[in-house]
Amino acid sequence: MATGRTHRPATRSRGIPEATVARLPLYLRALTGLSERSVPTVSSEELAAAAGVNSAKLRKDFSYLGSYGTRGVGYDVEYLVYQISRELGLTQDWPVVIVGIGNLGAALANYGGFASRGFRVAALIDADPAMAGKPVAGMPVQHTDDLEKIIDDNGVSIGVIATPAGAAQQVCDRLVAAGVTSILNFAPTVLSVPDGVDVRKVDLSIELQILAFHEQRKAGEESAAEAAAAQLPPAARAAGEQADRKGPDGDVPAVMPA
Amino acid sequence: MATGRTHRPATRSRGIPEATVARLPLYLRALTGLSERSVPTVSSEELAAAAGVNSAKLRKDFSYLGSYGTRGVGYDVEYLVYQISRELGLTQDWPVVIVGIGNLGAALANYGGFASRGFRVAALIDADPAMAGKPVAGMPVQHTDDLEKIIDDNGVSIGVIATPAGAAQQVCDRLVAAGVTSILNFAPTVLSVPDGVDVRKVDLSIELQILAFHEQRKAGEESAAEAAAAQLPPAARAAGEQADRKGPDGDVPAVMPA
DNA sequence: GTATGTGAACTATTTCACAGCA
DNA sequence: TGCTGTGAAATAGTTCACATAC
Residues A199, A104 share a domain: yes
Residue B125 belongs to what H/E stretch? strand B119-126
pLDDT for position A41: 98
Q: Do A209 and B24 touch (CB under 8 A)?
A: yes
Same domain, A166 and A195: yes
My answer on whether A161 and A184 are in the same domain is yes
**CATH number, domain at A188?**
3.40.50.720
CA of B75 to C1' of D17 (A): 21
The pLDDT value given to residue B222: 63
Q: How far apart are CA A27 and CA A18, in angstroms?
A: 15
Clarify whether residues A138 and A103 are in a common domain.
yes
Q: What is the Cα–Cα distance from A233 to A227, expressed in whole angstroms?
A: 13
Of residues A231 and B90, more confidently modeled: B90
Using the CB atom, is residue A70 less than 7 Å from strand C? yes
Tell me the helix, strand and coil percentages in chain B, rounded to 5: 45, 15, 40
Domain count, chain A: 2
pLDDT of residue A221: 66
Q: What is the pLDDT of residue B14?
A: 53
CB B88, CB B25: distance < 8 Å: yes
Q: What is the pLDDT of residues B165-210, one digit of tens each?
A: 999 999 999 999 999 999 999 999 999 999 999 999 999 899 999 9
Q: State whether B98 and B137 are in the same domain.
A: yes
The per-residue pLDDT for range A189-205, each reduced to its tens digit, is 999 999 999 999 999 89
Q: Specify the pLDDT at position B113.
A: 86
Percentage of residues of chain B with pLDDT beyond 90: 75
A212 and B21 within 8 Å at the Cβ level: the answer is: no
Does residue A8 carry a pLDDT above 50?
A: no
Which burial class, exposed, middle or buried, applies to A56 when counting CB atoms under 10 A from its CB (0-12, 13-18, 19+)?
exposed
Q: Which nucleotide is nearest to A21 (CA to C1')?
A: C13
pLDDT band at A117 (very low <50, low <70, confident <90, very high): confident
- Asked which of A6-10, A20-24, A244-248 is least confident by mean pLDDT, the reply is A244-248
Summarize the confidence of residues A86-108 as an average pLDDT.
Answer: 96
* Minimum mean pLDDT range among A212-221, B58-67, B125-134, B137-146: A212-221
Q: Are residues B120 and B48 in the same domain?
A: no
> Residue B256: pLDDT above 50?
no
pLDDT at B43: 98
Q: Average pLDDT, stretch B9-15? A: 44
Closest by CA to A155, choosing from A186, A191, A120, A190, is A120
The answer on A98 and A180 residing in a single domain is yes
Do B94 and A212 count as a contact with CB atoms less than 8 A apart?
A: yes
Say if B222 falls within a structural domain.
no
Based on the domain organization, do A57 and A114 belong to the same domain? no
Q: Are residues A192 and A99 in the same domain?
A: yes
B191 assigned to some structural domain: yes
Question: Of the residues B88, B111, B126, which one is the last residue of a structural domain?
Answer: B88
Q: For residue range A143-188, list pLDDT tens digits in order.
A: 999 999 999 999 999 999 999 999 999 999 999 999 999 999 999 9
Residue B71 lies inside a defined structural domain of this protein: yes
| Whether A113 and B188 lie within 8 Å, measured CB to CB | yes
When mean pLDDT is compared across A134-148, A236-250, B122-136, the lowest value belongs to A236-250
Q: Tell me whether residue B152 is in a domain.
A: yes
**A44 part of a folded domain:** yes
Cα angle for residues B202, B58, B38 (degrees, 5° grid): 95
Mean pLDDT calculated for residue range A55-81: 98
Distance from A146 to chain B by nearest Cα, in Å? 23
Q: What is the pLDDT of residue A131?
A: 97
Kindly tell me the sign of the dihedral angle through the C-alpha atoms of B37, B39, B44, B45: negative
Q: What CATH number did the domain enclosing B35 receive?
A: 1.10.10.10
Contact A23, A51 (CB under 8 A): yes
Domain-terminating residue out of B54, B70, B88: B88
User: Which has more pLDDT, A118 or B233?
Assistant: A118
What range defines the domain where residue B145 resides?
Answer: 94-204
Q: Does residue A142 sit within a domain?
A: yes
Does residue A234 surpass a pLDDT of 80?
A: no
* A7, pLDDT greater than 60: no
Is A254 within the bounds of a domain? no
**Which residues in chain B have Cβ-Cβ distances shorter than 8 Å to A254?**
91
Give distance CA B50 / C1' D15 (Å).
19
Interface test with B, best of A5, A46, A75, A208 (most B CBs within 10 A): A208
Same domain, A196 and A108: yes
Mean pLDDT score of chain A: 84
Q: Which residues of B touch A66 (CB under 8 A)?
A: 231-232, 234, 237
Give the alpha-carbon dihedral of A45, A51, A56, A60, to 10 degrees: -120
Cβ B65 vs Cβ B83: under 8 Å: yes
Q: What is the mean pLDDT of chain B?
A: 84
Domain final residue, candidates B185, B204, B223: B204
pLDDT for residue A199: 98
Radius of gyration (Cα) for chain A, nearest Å?
Answer: 24
User: Is residue A69 located within the same domain as residue A169?
Assistant: no
The answer to whether the beta carbon of residue A56 comes closer than 7 angstroms to any atom of strand C is yes
* B55/A221: higher pLDDT: B55
